[in-house]
């Protein structure tokens, strides 16, 4: 993957707060891609996961609230992708102290897939709604094209999982 150079036209999803969070994800990807040895350090790995947990806590809930407020028909699917992200992030938490090289590969696969599939593909579908603050369409254009296999439907327990993961990282 090449270095991600933030370009508002290419990456903006129409909300400044969400864009700032996404810029941080791009910074993390760039840092790890161009300094892979950092991922060999267990403290660095733990701090990365902790930062992604903070990102998750603010970003996912904020985005879902906006989508709910505007009546987005794709809200449930976005919430499912968020749940999958949290599940995968929790798996990474358990492997922080495992084999450094394996963690590095798994982490980079995870974060680049999140960037490419969720931020660049799915969130961009919401851009017009985020920019206007209202639902602009009621068609399938804002619905996801991703495969639903493996997604949990228990979104209501999200907060408790966040807390559990945060507790693990802080230890």
Name which of 84, 142, 157 is nearest 114 in CA terms.
84
Asked if residue 152 belongs to a domain, the reply is yes
- Whether the CA torsion 22, 50, 118, 142 is positive or negative: it is negative
CA separation for the pair 132, 110 (Å, rounded): 31
Question: 23 with 137: CB under 8 angstroms?
Answer: no
Q: What is the CATH number of the domain that holds 133?
A: 1.20.120
CA separation for the pair 77, 142 (Å, rounded): 10
Range of the domain at 147: 14-170
Per-residue pLDDT 10s for the chain (171 aa) are: 788 998 888 899 999 999 999 999 999 999 999 999 999 898 998 899 899 988 888 888 898 899 889 888 888 888 888 888 888 888 888 887 777 788 888 899 999 998 988 888 888 888 888 888 877 666 555 655 444 443 333 333 344 444 454 455 455
Asked if residue 113 belongs to a domain, the reply is yes
The count of structural domains within the chain is 1
């Amino acid at each position: 993957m090449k270095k991600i150079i933030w370009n508002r036209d290419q990456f903006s999803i129409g909300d400044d707060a969400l864009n700032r969070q996404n810029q941080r994800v791009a910074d993390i990807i760039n840092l790890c891609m161009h300094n892979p040895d950092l991922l060999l350090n267990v403290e660095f790995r733990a701090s990365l996961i902790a930062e992604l947990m903070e990102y998750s806590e603010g970003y996912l809930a904020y985005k879902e609230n906006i989508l709910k407020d505007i009546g987005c028909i794709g809200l449930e699917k976005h919430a499912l992708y968020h749940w999958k992200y949290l599940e995968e992030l929790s798996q990474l938490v358990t492997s922080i102290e495992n084999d450094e090289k394996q963690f590095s590969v798994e982490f980079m696969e995870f974060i680049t897939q999140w960037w490419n599939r969720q931020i660049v593909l799915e969130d961009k579908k919401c851009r017009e709604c985020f920019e206007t603050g209202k639902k602009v369409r009621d068609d399938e254009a804002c619905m996801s094209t991703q495969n639903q296999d493996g997604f949990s439907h228990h979104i209501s327990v999200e907060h408790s999982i966040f807390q559990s993961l945060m507790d693990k990282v802080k230890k």
